[in-house]
């Protein structure tokens, strides 16, 4: 299918793209019709038939296997190495608590990590007396600087190195393979937050050198909220089992009350998944992989993001915070003289741009998806250009549509 026809078909399959310029997939992606239909079908079944029968539970185990398979295909991994989670944060919690911590141990991370990853580290620090080290990597644009900073921070006492594949702040892609090699040589486990990577750029988890790689279902995979996944290396499974961490179990209980031992990543799965959402995640992974095609998704998304970064960087008064030499599909920017919250409101009202702020940087961040169009990016950039040419006090008011007949009695 020619690109123009393919893009049109994809956009027709994602109705919410008509509500505005969708530039916040990094928070929550738009839901395809295929995914919505799968969720509704099972939710309707639960409404009409119920959800408490043993047969329904057994059938859902197959649906969970399908979701693991969908994630495994996208991650280039074996299905037995995938655990279903409720969010990326779940995966980072599992990684943090899978270590047999002792007082004086060290955990290493960056100053850019999301709260969902930092929370578990703070918890283990406070509970076990672990030293928590924050590595200053600047904006993430200099790989050699980043690697050198981690090399200095990862000592023999380091038990876990936790960092993002793509920073949620500046959008920089970090050299996780090089960092993981250092950590592995020094005996530390490596946990990667892949929330802004999987579905946006090519990821082969077995080549990253990571021990844990956490995935979000609702972002670039366009799945329901409350879904996610965790890839766990065979070595990490063995080490976590030996550590005998008590808050997750190596066994689960089947419907007959019998203990079932899982020698793979399923041992990390919690219970009480929302069944329609898990089915929706499986469908979104399959839709992206088989209908749209991952190579096309990755190529189009990254190309469009670079073009957007170049266009925005050329506007006087705009400061691009995303390093173009290390970017993925996130673009973070500031407009001189404009608070980020005000920029967000103006862009939303003027061109219906759906985006977000990055509060620590007082900046706005746009997420470029394969489903966005060049005219959308240009409309957004033109609106940014207008704001950059003014201050909040001098900006001309937005023209409003006059509705004839109102106020005539």
pLDDT digits (tens, 9 = 90+) for 28-76: 999 999 999 999 999 999 999 999 998 998 999 999 999 999 999 999 9
Residue 142, SS3 per DSSP? coil
User: For position 261, what pLDDT does the model report?
Assistant: 60
Q: Other CB atoms closer than 10 Å to residue 389's CB: what's the count?
A: 13
To 5 degrees, how large is the angle CA 352–CA 327–CA 184?
A: 135
Q: Is residue 405 pLDDT above 70, yes or no?
A: no
135 confidence band (pLDDT: 50, 70, 90): very high
Average pLDDT over residues 357-381: 98
Q: Is residue 175 pLDDT above 70, yes or no?
A: yes
Q: Do β-strands 82-85 and 131-135 pair in parallel, antiparallel, or remain unpaired?
A: unpaired
367 confidence band (pLDDT: 50, 70, 90): very high
User: For position 271, what pLDDT does the model report?
Assistant: 84
User: For position 199, what pLDDT does the model report?
Assistant: 98
| DSSP string for residues in 104-134 | T-EEEEETT--HHHHHHHHHHHHHHT-EEEE
H, E, C per residue of 3-32: HHHHHHHHHHCCHHHHHCEECCCCCCCCCC
Model pTM score: 0.94
254 confidence band (pLDDT: 50, 70, 90): low
Q: Is residue 250 pLDDT above 50, yes or no?
A: no
Quick check: 121 and 96 in contact, CB under 8 A?
Answer: yes
User: For position 125, what pLDDT does the model report?
Assistant: 97
**What is the token pair recorded at 197?**
């990577």
Q: Tell me the percentage of the chain whose pLDDT exceeds 90.
A: 87
Q: Is residue 88 pLDDT above 70, yes or no?
A: yes
Average pLDDT over residues 131-155: 98
User: For position 404, what pLDDT does the model report?
Assistant: 65
Q: Tell me the percentage of the chain whose pLDDT exceeds 70.
A: 92
User: For position 255, what pLDDT does the model report?
Assistant: 52
Residue 351, SS3 per DSSP? helix
Helix or strand holding residue 345 (H, E): helix 340-351
pLDDT digits (tens, 9 = 90+) for 340-349: 999 999 999 9
**What is the token pair recorded at 42?**
């099972």
C-alpha–C-alpha distance, residues 16 and 315, integer Å: 29
What is the distance, to the nearest Å, from the Cα of residue 402 to the centroid of all Cα atoms in its chain? Answer: 42
Mean pLDDT of the chain: 93
257 confidence band (pLDDT: 50, 70, 90): low
399 confidence band (pLDDT: 50, 70, 90): confident
Q: Which residue has the higher pLDDT, 161 or 246?
A: 161
User: For position 238, what pLDDT does the model report?
Assistant: 84
Q: Is residue 390 pLDDT above 80, yes or no?
A: yes
Quick check: 215 and 235 in contact, CB under 8 A?
Answer: no
Q: Is residue 403 pLDDT above 80, yes or no?
A: no
pLDDT digits (tens, 9 = 90+) for 1-15: 889 999 999 999 999
Least confident of 228-237, 248-257, 272-281, 320-329: 248-257
Own/partner contacts of 55-58, CB < 8 Å, gap of 24 or more, are: 57/255, 58/255
Buried b (16+ CB within 10 A) or exposed e, 174-204: bbbeebbebbbeeebbbbbbbbbbbbbbebe
User: For position 14, what pLDDT does the model report?
Assistant: 98
Q: Other CB atoms closer than 10 Å to residue 291's CB: what's the count?
A: 13
Quick check: 15 and 34 in contact, CB under 8 A?
Answer: no
Q: Which residue has the tokens 């969720």?
A: 39
């Amino acid at each position: 299918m020619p690109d123009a026809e393919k893009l049109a078909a994809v956009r027709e399959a994602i109705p919410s793209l008509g509500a505005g310029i969708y530039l916040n997939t990094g928070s929550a992606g738009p839901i395809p019709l295929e995914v919505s239909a799968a969720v509704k079908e099972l939710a309707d079944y639960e409404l009409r038939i119920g959800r408490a029968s043993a047969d329904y539970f057994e059938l859902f185990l197959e649906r969970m296997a399908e979701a693991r398979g969908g994630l495994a295909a996208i991650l280039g991994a074996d299905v037995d190495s995938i655990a279903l989670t409720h969010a990326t944060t779940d995966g980072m919690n599992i990684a943090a608590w899978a270590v047999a911590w002792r007082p004086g141990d060290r955990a290493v991370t960056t100053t850019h990590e999301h709260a969902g990853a930092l929370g578990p580290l703070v918890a283990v620090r406070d509970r076990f007396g672990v030293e928590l080290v924050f590595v200053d990597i600047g904006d993430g644009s200099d790989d050699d600087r980043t690697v050198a900073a981690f090399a200095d921070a990862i000592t023999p006492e380091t038990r876990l190195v936790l960092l993002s594949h793509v920073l949620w702040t500046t959008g920089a892609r970090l050299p996780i393979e090089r960092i993981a090699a250092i950590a592995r040589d020094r005996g530390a486990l490596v946990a990667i937050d892949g929330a802004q990577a999987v579905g946006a750029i090519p990821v082969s988890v077995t080549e990253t050198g990571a021990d844990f790689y956490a995935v979000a279902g609702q972002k670039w995979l366009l799945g329901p909220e409350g879904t996610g996944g965790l890839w766990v290396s065979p070595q990490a499974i063995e080490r976590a089992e030996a550590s005998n961490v008590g808050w997750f179990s190596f066994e689960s209980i089947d419907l007959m009350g019998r203990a079932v031992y899982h020698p793979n990543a399923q041992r990390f799965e919690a219970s009480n998944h929302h069944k329609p959402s898990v089915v929706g995640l499986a469908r979104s992974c399959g839709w992206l992989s088989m209908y749209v095609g991952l190579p096309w998704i990755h190529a189009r998304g990254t190309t469009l993001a670079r073009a957007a970064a170049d266009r925005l960087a050329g506007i006087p008064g705009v400061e691009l915070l995303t390093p173009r030499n290390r970017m993925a599909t996130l673009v973070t920017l500031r407009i001189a003289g404009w608070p980020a919250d005000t920029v967000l409101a103006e862009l939303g009202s003027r061109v219906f741009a759906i985006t977000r702020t990055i509060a620590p940087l007082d900046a706005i961040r746009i997420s470029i998806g394969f489903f966005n169009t060049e005219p959308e990016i240009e409309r957004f950039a033109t609106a940014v250009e207008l704001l950059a040419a003014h201050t909040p006090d001098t900006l001309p008011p937005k023209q409003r549509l006059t509705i004839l007949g109102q106020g005539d009695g």
